[in-house]
């Protein structure tokens, strides 16, 4: 198996991008990624997209994106694993290059979520849950994560202020990210008193509806210096795992077994442990998600993640920096693009190009991208080559 490197990355400022179409979002990010390289030929494309059909009425994503990128006759594959679609696309591209099937692979992710009503977006996102046992009975993702939050608070004694520390930290980081959707400072008090969505989760605990795309270029590590002047970022480990799609079938509402399994496998492949990780991007679709993920990855013991967040341990200058990009909460969450954008943030961090949000001495990074309420998880481990 060949070593694989990221040699170019690209995205745009995320948000409610009314003036940009679904296809143009992807092409813009792809061209930005290609612009960091000397690549003149792509062998294959993998595109993370959760639900182009429900959001913009467009399926057959591989064909349309290759066409509008000017890459007719190119092999292109749409990858779907709910909100983990971007991470799954990166894994598919990694395997393609590592196996020797392709030399140059463009990995992208895209979602245009604001062209439908709020109800329409809720319906589209709910397709990632169990339709017969959860959605039919009225469960939404805020409701499912609220159950996880309530169980966590009851089991471990976590407080509302500790939960609020997560979005406060991520908005502080997002202020330093020019591509973030919401560049605004918030306080614990503002989170605590924002509109209730599903008790105990409030609106400022929830990631937003977002338009956006992200793209990166993969090649064999041995070809990296010839194809880009940027430092090559070597993908050391890649793993994916699933769990029951329905929350009620889980072993424990306060842990995420798919995250545990995928992270252990990725770290083993990389020859690393959690204490080797200097910076991490995780799937904070809701405040409680970042807390439970941080424990399931092994950064903190069970029941200690909320306390760690409140104590500043996950801040940029903390012991385990998490989501320096601002995370899904501040940066935004165009579901198909999120996993790719996580890898882009780690690339910036490892290159030393993250500006005011740069984590000191960032040598090894990790991404964790999750589908649904934890029904799937993809983890990648990377370092500067």
DSSP string, 300-332: S-TT-HHHHHHTTTTSTTSSS-B-TT-HHHHH-
pLDDT in tens, 323-376: 999 999 999 999 999 999 999 999 999 999 999 999 999 999 999 999 999 999
Do 229 and 239 reside in the same domain of the chain? no
Q: How confident is the model at residue 127 (pLDDT cuts 50, 70, 90)?
A: very high
Domain final residue pick, 233, 249, 283: 233
Do 238 and 278 reside in the same domain of the chain? yes
Do 221 and 258 reside in the same domain of the chain? no
Number of structural domains (the chain) is 2
Instruction: Note whether residue 125 is domain-resident.
Output: no
Do 216 and 242 reside in the same domain of the chain? no
Do 214 and 300 reside in the same domain of the chain? no
Q: How confident is the model at residue 142 (pLDDT cuts 50, 70, 90)?
A: very high
The CATH code of the domain that includes 368 is 3.40.47.10
pTM of full prediction above 0.75: yes
3-state secondary structure of 10: strand
Do 179 and 100 reside in the same domain of the chain? no
Instruction: Note whether residue 130 is domain-resident.
Output: no
Instruction: Note whether residue 324 is domain-resident.
Output: yes
pLDDT value at residue 362? 98
Give the mean model confidence (pLDDT) for residues 244-262.
Answer: 97
pLDDT in tens, 89-100: 999 999 999 999
Q: How confident is the model at residue 161 (pLDDT cuts 50, 70, 90)?
A: very high
Do 218 and 344 reside in the same domain of the chain? no
Do 313 and 165 reside in the same domain of the chain? yes
Do 156 and 14 reside in the same domain of the chain? no
- Other residues' Cβ atoms within 10 Å of the Cβ of residue 153: 18
Instruction: Note whether residue 39 is domain-resident.
Output: yes
Range of the domain at 213: 4-117+209-233
Q: What is the DSSP string of 330-354?
A: HH---TTTHHHHHHHHHHHHHHT--
Cα gap 3→325, rounded to integer Å: 27
* Residue 295 contacts residue 305 (beta carbons within 8 Å): yes
Do 183 and 267 reside in the same domain of the chain? yes
Do 110 and 219 reside in the same domain of the chain? yes
Residue positions annotated with a catalytic role: 83, 333
Do 198 and 302 reside in the same domain of the chain? yes
């Amino acid at each position: 198996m060949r070593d694989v490197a990221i040699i170019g990355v690209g995205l745009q400022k995320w948000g409610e991008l009314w003036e940009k179409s679904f296809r143009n979002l992807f092409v813009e990010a792809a061209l930005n990624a290609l612009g960091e390289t000397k690549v003149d030929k792509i062998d294959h494309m993998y595109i993370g997209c959760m639900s182009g059909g429900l959001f913009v009425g467009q399926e057959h994503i591989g064909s349309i994106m290759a066409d509008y990128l000017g890459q007719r006759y190119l092999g292109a594959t749409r990858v779907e694993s709910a909100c983990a679609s971007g991470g799954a696309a990166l894994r598919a591209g990694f395997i393609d290059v590592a196996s020797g099937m392709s030399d140059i692979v463009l990995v992208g992710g895209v979602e245009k979520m604001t062209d439908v009503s709020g109800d329409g977006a809720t319906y589209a996102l709910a397709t990632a849950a169990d339709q017969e046992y959860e959605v039919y009975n009225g469960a939404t993702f805020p409701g499912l994560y609220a159950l996880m939050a309530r169980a966590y608070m009851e089991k471990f004694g976590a407080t509302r202020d500790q939960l609020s520390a997560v979005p406060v930290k991520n908005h502080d980081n997002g202020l330093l990210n020019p591509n973030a959707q919401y560049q605004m400072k918030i306080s614990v008090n503002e989170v605590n008193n924002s509109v209730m969505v599903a008790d105990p989760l409030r609106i400022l605990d929830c990631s937003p509806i977002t338009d956006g795309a992200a793209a990166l270029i993969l090649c064999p590590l041995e070809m990296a210096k010839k194809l880009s002047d940027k430092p090559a970022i070597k993908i050391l480990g890649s793993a994916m795992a699933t769990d029951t799609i329905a929350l009620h079938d889980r072993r424990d509402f306060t842990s995420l077994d798919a995250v545990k399994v995928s992270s252990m496998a990725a770290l083993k492949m990389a020859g690393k442990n959690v204490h080797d990780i200097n910076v991490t991007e995780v799937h904070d679709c809701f405040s409680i998600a970042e807390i439970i993920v941080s424990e399931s990855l092994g950064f903190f013991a069970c029941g200690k993640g909320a306390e760690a967040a409140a104590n500043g341990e996950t801040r940029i200058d903390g012991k385990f920096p998490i989501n320096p990009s601002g995370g899904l909460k501040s940066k935004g969450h165009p579901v198909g693009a999120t996993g790719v954008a996580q890898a882009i943030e780690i690339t910036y961090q490892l290159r030393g190009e993250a500006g005011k949000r740069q984590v000191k001495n960032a040598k090894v990074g990790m991404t964790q991208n999750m589908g649904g309420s934890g029904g799937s998880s993809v983890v990648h481990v990377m370092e500067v080559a």
